[in-house]
Amino acid sequence: MARLLTLLLLTSLAASAAAAGDPHSYADPSQFLVRHVALDLRADFTAHRLEGTAELSVERIDPAARELYLDTRDLEVRSVQRLDADGRVHNLDFLLDARDAVLGSRLTIELAPRENEPKLQHLRIGYRMSPEASALQWLEPAQTSGPHPYLYSQGQAINARSWIPLQDTPSVRVTYSARIRTPPELVAVMSAARADPTVLPPGEFRFEMRQPIPSYLIALAIGDLKFQSLGDRVGVWTEPSQLAAAAQEFADLPRMLEAGEKLLGPYRWDRYDLLIMPHSFAFGGMENPRLSFISPSVVAGDRSLVAVIVHELAHSWSGNLVTSATWNDFWLNEGFTTYFERRLMEALYGKRRADMEDAIAYESLVEAIDDAKAAGLPGDTSLRLNLAGRDPNEGISDVAYEKGRWFLGFLEGRFGRLAFDAFLRGYFDSHAFMSADTATFRSYLLAELARPGAPKIPVAEIDEWLYGTGMPVTTPAIPSGVFDVVDRAAAEWRAGRLAANQLPVRDWLPQEWVRFLDSQPAELADAKLAELRTQFHLGADGNAEIARSWLALVVRTAYEPAYPDLERFLLSTGRYKLVVGLYRDLARTETGLELGRAIYAKARPGYHTTIRQAVERLLQPVTSAGRDAGRCGSPATLRHGPSDECPQSHSRRG
Ligand code: BES
Ligand code: ZN
């Protein structure tokens, strides 16, 4: 009974959350819900456009609603038609609003109620997308590992609207199908089940995603792709020249999936494959369902960076099965996933390894909190954010990931691991294929805490985690001892009691290198840096995390001899965590800022829009008019063309 009540309460809470609205979408899910999207798109690699139709199956929720609002950004909408069951086609009136810099353009479709209207109405939208579509990155052959071009999409957070007109809010879930036509020598993959291509004409691919997912998880990649199986349910896709290395690196995938199911319950997406991307891919990994997109920087040669895979796999539950209802609740996706990532790393590779990841990440959390406070944005250190009017990508920070992770660590401590695992299983089972916001999770937690035998946790302690700034007083002890040996060696070396060639590095894991480099101060002498650089061949190559930590030290100490390596690194990878962190470090000083701008001018064409926007936010001059001044077209913005966020409004009636 109590469970039933909780469920009822939850359903009404989830509904009210959606009605209360997602500040990053024009959709009104209380009027209409898009239930299914059928895409029919052709990829033009010369014009850098996808063109075709999206057929939406729309359910009326409010009997009186007259207009359907969809999200779009930079789409050229040609026609909107209603397809009736008798085969008749009706043109519908539509209006594309002027472009909002963050949200894009609202598409309004006339859809007044009709007598005996079917439960689902089918609307076909004819359109093509801009070569600048924010979701898409078109790569020239030179940017791939072979002689072919490449295209991929990145939907999260609000980019799906730049390639599909839909309700682009994570509070709405859709199933989807697609027909994709490519040049005949290329292969298309999507976050969906793939029809056997051998029964289709060359260059045609068909997909079907039967489980309802939020719009940001609809994903496409096209390139010269090959597949290698790694087990019954798992495998890896990549460009042919990378396939053997990738298969070798991710041989643990079957074990990872089993560990995930053991902790979190059945895997509900049938297959789990990886797509290893070209170097400009914007993220370490992106949890597109059935097919995580993975940065090639994770292929380290020694399986040392597989935490990214474990992380994306964990999103199959936290994020993809139960989804943050708005980007203000992003921590529900990433905090849970980071917690599961560490639990799975512990189960698969031992506690020491998980502790290392925790300790490194905690340092970076402390820095992120300090930075946000210094920037006058203390609200950004809360788990629950308020990003209305801002780009939701501004919510990407260690706060969502690591503060979220430690909130769950705090709860685990109070419940005890066994009871907490049961709590989590219950939460994921009862919310499967639903979206939840912070309030939903909070009331589920409070209801569970009210049960007999549950631990007593004061609500104020929970709310301090969810809504308070900085780290709560109830933060658990962070594992610190794992790096004692490294820290001692680092101190001895700094004090000159140990030469670089006497450091005990023989068995160091990349994580120990990262700690060693991250712990060096800004005052380190050039001679010391030179000693490290020569002794250990530190530069732009090799393990990407070690290179990042080394180059962060180079920036921190303004060690000019290594600037060419910094530039090479920033030109050769497009991954958020590697790139944005270094530009942030550069932006801390005037000379760094200048160097950052010079490098960025060269690197920009190789970065995905999400990365461009994040870097431009960091490199733009702060003026007395506030941190957003100079964003659109003013002479103060960067030298190379207008920012992607600047409006070019157009509107028309069909
Ligand atoms: N879902 C994120 C990537 C993302 C976040 C894309 C926000 C767009 C907006 C993904 O799961 C992620 O967290 N990637 C991390 C990996 C990591 C923390 C192990 C990354 O890219 O580094
Ligand atoms: Zn994630």
Ligand 1: residue whose CA is nearest its atom 2: 286
Task: Report the atom number in ligand 1 closest to the C-alpha of 395.
Answer: 7
Contact (CB, 8 A) for 160 and 214: no
Task: Report the atom number in ligand 1 closest to the C-alpha of 576.
Answer: 21
Residue 21 is predicted with a pLDDT of 83
From ligand 2's centre to the CA of 340, what distance in Å? 11
Residue 640 is predicted with a pLDDT of 32
Task: Report the atom number in ligand 1 closest to the C-alpha of 392.
Answer: 9
Separation of alpha carbons 336 and 341, rounded Å: 8
Phi, psi (rounded to 5 degrees) for 429: -65, -40
From ligand 2's centre to the CA of 73, what distance in Å? 24
Coil vs helix vs strand at 291: strand
Q: For residues 548, 550, 551 and 557, what is the CA-based torsion angle, rounded to 10 degrees?
A: 140
* Residues sharing a CB contact under 8 Å with residue 458, sequence separation 6 or more, in sequence order: none
Token pair 């530069």 in the structure block, residue? 539
Separation of alpha carbons 7 and 24, rounded Å: 27
From ligand 1's centre to the CA of 205, what distance in Å? 28
Clarify whether 312 is annotated catalytic. yes
For the chain, give the number of residues.
Answer: 654
Choosing from 239, 312, 412, 545, which is the catalytic residue? 312
Residue 174 is predicted with a pLDDT of 98
Separation of alpha carbons 443 and 204, rounded Å: 47
From ligand 1's centre to the CA of 237, what distance in Å? 19
Side-chain-side CA neighbours of residue 430 (13 Å): 22
From ligand 1's centre to the CA of 284, what distance in Å? 6
pLDDT beneath 70: ranges in the chain: 1-20, 622-654
Separation of alpha carbons 275 and 236, rounded Å: 6
**3-class SS letters over 191-246:** CCEECCHHHCCCCEEEEEEEEEEEHHHCCEEEECCEEEECCCCEEEEECHHHHHHH
Q: Mutation test of ligand 1: which of 291, 292, 311 has the most ligand atoms closer than 8 Å to its C-beta?
A: 311
Ligand 1: residue whose CA is nearest its atom 11: 286
Residue 10 is predicted with a pLDDT of 41
Task: Report the atom number in ligand 1 closest to the C-alpha of 156.
Answer: 8
Task: Report the atom number in ligand 1 closest to the C-alpha of 282.
Answer: 21
Separation of alpha carbons 514 and 607, rounded Å: 25
Residue 497 is predicted with a pLDDT of 97
Residue 5 is predicted with a pLDDT of 41
The predicted-structure confidence for 467-483, as pLDDT tens digits, reads as follows 999 999 999 999 989 99
The predicted-structure confidence for 179-222, as pLDDT tens digits, reads as follows 999 999 999 999 999 999 999 999 999 999 999 999 999 999 99
Ligand 1: residue whose CA is nearest its atom 19: 308
Separation of alpha carbons 581 and 545, rounded Å: 12
Residue 528 is predicted with a pLDDT of 98
Show the ligand 1 pocket: residues with CB < 6 angstroms.
156-157, 283-287, 307-308, 311-312, 315, 334, 393, 396, 401, 576-577
Cis peptide leading into residue 500 (ω within 30°): no
Choosing from 339, 401, 576, 583, which is the catalytic residue? 401
CA distances from 410 to 315, 354, 369, 404 (A): 21, 16, 19, 10
Token pair 């529900």 in the structure block, residue? 332
Nearest bound ligand to the CA of residue 544: 1
Ligand 1: residue whose CA is nearest its atom 14: 285
Nearest bound ligand to the CA of residue 327: 1
Separation of alpha carbons 255 and 252, rounded Å: 5
What are all long-range contacts of 616-625, with beta carbons under 8 Å and residues at least 24 apart? 616/643, 617/394, 618/580, 618/583, 618/584, 618/587, 619/583, 619/587, 619/593
Nearest bound ligand to the CA of residue 398: 1
From ligand 1's centre to the CA of 397, what distance in Å? 10
Contact (CB, 8 A) for 290 and 402: no
Residue 552 is predicted with a pLDDT of 98
Q: For residues 179, 151, 76 and 641, what is the CA-based torsion angle, rounded to 10 degrees?
A: 180
Strands (E) in 61-161, as ranges, are 67-72, 75-83, 89-91, 94-96, 105-110, 120-129, 136-139, 150-153
Strands (E) in 495-541, as ranges, are none
Ligand 1: residue whose CA is nearest its atom 6: 156
- Of 328, 344, 334, which Cα lies nearest the Cα of 261? 344
Residue 153 is predicted with a pLDDT of 98
Residue 621 is predicted with a pLDDT of 72
Ligand 1: residue whose CA is nearest its atom 18: 308
Rg, Å, the chain Cα set? 25
Separation of alpha carbons 72 and 650, rounded Å: 12
Ligand 1: residue whose CA is nearest its atom 17: 308
Residue 622 is predicted with a pLDDT of 56
Nearest bound ligand to the CA of residue 293: 1
Residue 652 is predicted with a pLDDT of 33
- Of 468, 452, 355, 450, which Cα lies nearest the Cα of 407? 468
Coil vs helix vs strand at 128: strand
Separation of alpha carbons 458 and 194, rounded Å: 49
Task: Report the atom number in ligand 1 closest to the C-alpha of 610.
Answer: 8
- Of 268, 274, 190, which Cα lies nearest the Cα of 234? 274
Query: b vs e for 300-338, b when ≥16 Cβ sit within 10 Å of the residue's Cβ?
Result: beeebbbbbbbbbbbbbbbbbbbbbbbbbbbbbbbbbbb
Separation of alpha carbons 243 and 614, rounded Å: 31
